Amino acid sequence: MHSTRLEQPTRHRSDLQTIRTLLPYLWEFKGRVALALALLTLAKLANVSVPLILKEIIDALDQPRAMLALPVFLLISYGVLRLCSTLFGELRDAVFAKVTQRAIRRIAIKIFTHLHSLSLRFHLERQTGGVSRDIERGSRGISFLMNFMLFNILPTLLEISLVMMILASSYDILFSIIIMFTLLAYIALTLIVTEWRMIFRRTMNDMDSKANTRAIDSLLNYETVKYFGSESWEARRYDEHLKTWETAAIRNQTSLAALNTGQSIIIAVGITLLMLLAADEVVTGTMTLGDLVLINAFMLQLYIPLHFLGFVYREIKHSLADMEKMFNLLTENAEIEDKPEAEILNPESATISFNNVEFSYDLNRQILFGISFDIPAGRNIAIVGHSGSGKSTLPRLLFRFYDVQAGTISINQQDIRNVTQTSLRAAIGIVPQDTVLFNESIYYNIAYGRPDASDEEILNAARSAYIHDFIESLPNKYQTIVGERGLKLSGGEKQRIAIARAILKNPYIFIFDEATSALDSKSEKMIQAELRRIASNRTTLTIAHRLSTIVDADQILVMDQGHIIERGNHHQLLAKNGTYAHMWRLQQEENMMEAGSEIVNCP
C-alpha cells in the first residue's frame, strides 16, 4: 500500500506577523495591560533594591564590636522589599489572567467560525487529526507567548538596564564592561543556536500533526481496519511519522543541552572575572565587603533571569512555531462568501430553476454539462441515473456548497449567489444518503433540525419518521448516546433520525437523497407515504436509486455523465422505451428474483 496524497507545502509566517495578530486582543484590555506593566515595574524595582539594602546591612554589621548596632530598619526594609518583589509579581499575574484567557477564547472561536465558513472543498481535503492538534498547540502557545514575552523578556531587560546604571555610576567602568560583554556573548549564542534549532521544532510539529491525523483516521475507520486485518499496517503508517518525530526530538534535546552548556560557560566566566575584580578592589580598600556582596548579588540576580531569558526566548520561538499552523488556518480563503449587498431569500411557494448549469470540482474533470430544469412550487421532481452521473452534485449546488462555473440556480427568480447563505440553507431541508450523526443523544440529533422546538414537536417528528417506538424501547430512550458518527445505530435507524430531523426543520424545500435506501421494504413503504404527506405542497427534489419510490413524481429526469438524457413522468418514460425503461425492467427483474428467493427460503 502506498499513499497517493500529495503533500501540501507548509506556509511559514514571520514571527512579527504572528505577534501582530495577537495585538488586537491585548488592546481590548488596555487598562489591565497598563496596570500589569506598572506592577511589573514595581516588582523589578523592589528586586533591584534588595542587593542595595543587603550592602548597607553588611557594611553596618562590618564594624568593630564597640561600634556595632543592629540595623533593624534595614533588616525590616530588606524583608519588605523581598515580599514586594513577589507580591507585585503575583498581583500582576492575577490582573493579566483575564487578558490571556479571553485572547485564547476569542482566537479559538474565530478559528472555529472560520473553519465553518470554508467551503466543502476544504473540508473534504482537510486532515481532522492534524487540524485539531494544530489548534491545541497554538492555544497553548498563545498563553505562553503573552505571559512570558510581556512579563519575562521586558522585565529582565529592565532589570539588566537598572543594574548596569547602578554599577556604572558607583563602581569602576570595568564592571559594566565585563557585564556588557557577558550579556552580549550570552544573547548572541542564544539567538544563533535557537534559530538553528527551530528546524527541529517545526519538523516535530509537522510529524506530530501527521501522526495524529493517521491515528484519528485509523480509529474512525476501526471496523474497516478489522475487516481487512490491517492493524499492523496501520501501526506501521503511524510509526513512519513517529520515527521522524523521534529523530527531530532527539536532535532538539541534544542541541538544547549544548546551548545550555554554552550559556553556563559564558555566565561562569563573567561572574569569575567580576569576583576577581571586586575582590582585588576590597583588598586595595577601594571597595567595602558590602560592595563585594552587592556585585555578587547583582550577578546572581541577573544570572537567574538571564538564564531563564534564554529558556523563555527558546520557548517563545517554539510557541510562535506552534501558533504558525493555527494562524495559517485563518488565511484559508472562504471559497463561498455572501456578497456585500446579499438579500434575504424569499422561500415561500418556492420555484427552483437550474438554467444551463455547468460545474466541475476541478478543471480537469467536468461533472455537469448545461443542466436546465424547473421545479414548480409544490411539485416533486425526481433525479435518477447511474453512479457518477452527477445527480448527487445537484443538492450540493442548491445548498451553495459550491458555486457553478456557468449558468444560474435561482429560487423564486433570486439567483442563490445573490442571497445570504443563512437564509438559503434555512429554507432547505435534506435527508442525505449517508447520514452522519453527532456523538450525542438521539434527542439532540433530532432537535438539531430546529433547536428551539418543543419536546412535543420533537416527539411528533420521531413518530412521523416511524422511530418513536424504537427509541422508547431503548433503556435510556431519547437520551441514548448514538456514538461517533452514529455508529451505535443501524443504517436504517440513522436514516430515520435524519428524516425526523428534516421533518422537524419544517422547510419550504425538501431534498431527499436516497432518503430510504437503508430501510427494509416494509419500513420504506410506510416512510415513503409519510414523506409524501409531509412534502405535499412543498417544493421537492428527490434523488433516487429505487425507481419504485418515485413513480408518482411530477417529473423524472434521467442523468448520464453530467447530461439530462430523458425527462417526463413515469408512464411517459416507460413509453419512450429508453434508458429509464431499461433501468425499470432491470429493477423489476431483481425484485422478482428476490421475491422468489424469499418464497424458496420460507419453511
* Spatial CA neighbour of 262 closest among 182, 348, 324, 146: 182
CA distances from 327 to 29, 205, 320 (A): 22, 14, 10
The pLDDT, as a whole number, for residue 66 is 46
Residue 588: per-residue pLDDT: 84
Report pLDDT for 124. Answer: 65
For Cα atoms 412, 416, 417, give the angle at the middle one, nearest 5 degrees. 145
| Ramachandran class of 565: left when φ > 0, alpha when ψ lies in -120 to 50, beta otherwise | alpha
Number of domains in the chain: 2
| pTM reported for the whole predicted model | 0.63
Structural domain includes residue 586: no
Asked if residue 58 belongs to a domain, the reply is yes
**CATH number, residue 500:** 3.40.50.300
DSSP string covering 214-251, please?
A: HHHHHHHTHHHHHHTT-HHHHHHHHHHHHHHHHHHHHH
pLDDT the model gives residue 374 = 92
pLDDT value for 1: 39
Q: Which of 451, 483, 506 is the last residue of a domain?
A: 506
d(CA 247, CA 224): 31
| DSSP per-residue codes, 247-270 | HHHHHHHHHHHHHHHHHHHHHHHH
Same domain, 264 and 116: yes
Instruction: Evaluate whether residue 580 is within a structural domain.
Output: no
Residue 517's pLDDT is 65
CB 477 within 8 A of CB 501: no
Domain annotation covers residue 353 = no
Q: Taking the mean position of all CA atoms in its chain, how far away is CA 139?
A: 10
Phi, psi angles (nearest 5°) of residue 428: -120, 135
Q: What is the CATH number of the domain that holds 325?
A: 1.20.1560.10
Domain-embedded: residue 343:
no
- Helix, strand, coil percentages (3-state) for the chain, rounded to 5, are 65, 10, 25
Within a domain: 265: yes
User: In this structure, are 444 and 312 located in the same domain?
Assistant: no
Q: What is the sign, positive or negative, of the torsion defined by CA atoms of 48, 51, 54, 58? A: negative
3-state secondary structure of 509: strand
168 within domain boundaries = yes
Q: Which helix (H) or strand (E) holds 367?
A: strand 365-375
3-class DSSP state of 401: coil
pLDDT at residue 409, as a whole number? 92
pLDDT at 557: 92
Last residue of one domain, picked from the residues 287, 314, 330: 330
Cell representation of residue 298? 547583582
Can you tell me the distance from the alpha carbon of 92 to that of 37, in angstroms, rounded to the nearest whole number? 8
Using alpha carbons, select from 165, 172, 163, 170 the residue that is nearest to residue 280.
172
Q: Is the CB of residue 478 less than 8 Å from the CB of residue 514?
A: no
Residues of the chain scoring pLDDT < 70: 1-18, 62-70, 119, 123-130, 132-133, 147, 149-153, 220, 222-224, 226-228, 303-310, 314, 515-524, 591, 594-603
Instruction: Tell which residue, 262, 202, 271, 140, has the closest CA to residue 13.
Output: 202
Co-location of 322 and 462 in the same domain = no
Dist CA 350 CA 148 (whole Å): 58
Q: What is the pLDDT of residue 6?
A: 33
Residue 6 cell numbers, joined: 500529495
Per-residue cell: 47: 528586586
Is the same domain home to 76 and 208?
yes
- Select from 489, 506, 523 the last residue of a domain: 506
Instruction: Give the pLDDT of residue 456.
Output: 92
Closest CA to 540 of 425, 431, 324, 382: 382
Q: 515-540, pLDDT tens digit by residue?
A: 666 566 666 677 777 777 777 778 98
Alpha helix stretches (DSSP H) within 62-153: 72-117, 120-125, 128-148
Domain span at residue 488 reads 434-506
Length of the chain, please?
603
pLDDT at 520: 66
Q: Facing residues of 556 across strands?
A: 382, 568
Given a contact cutoff of 8 angstroms between Cβ atoms, the answer to whether 267 and 306 are in contact is: yes
pLDDT value of position 9 = 42
Q: At what angle do helices 289-330 and 72-117 cross, to 10 degrees?
A: 10
Does residue 313 sit in the same domain as residue 443?
no
For residue 195, being part of any structural domain is answered with yes
**Range 461-492 burial, b when 16+ CB lie within 10 A, else e:** bbebbbbbebbeeeeeebebebeeebeebeeb
How far is 181 from 159, CA to CA, in rounded Å? 17
DSSP 546-582: SGGGGTT-SEEEEEETTEEEEEE-HHHHHHHTSHHHH
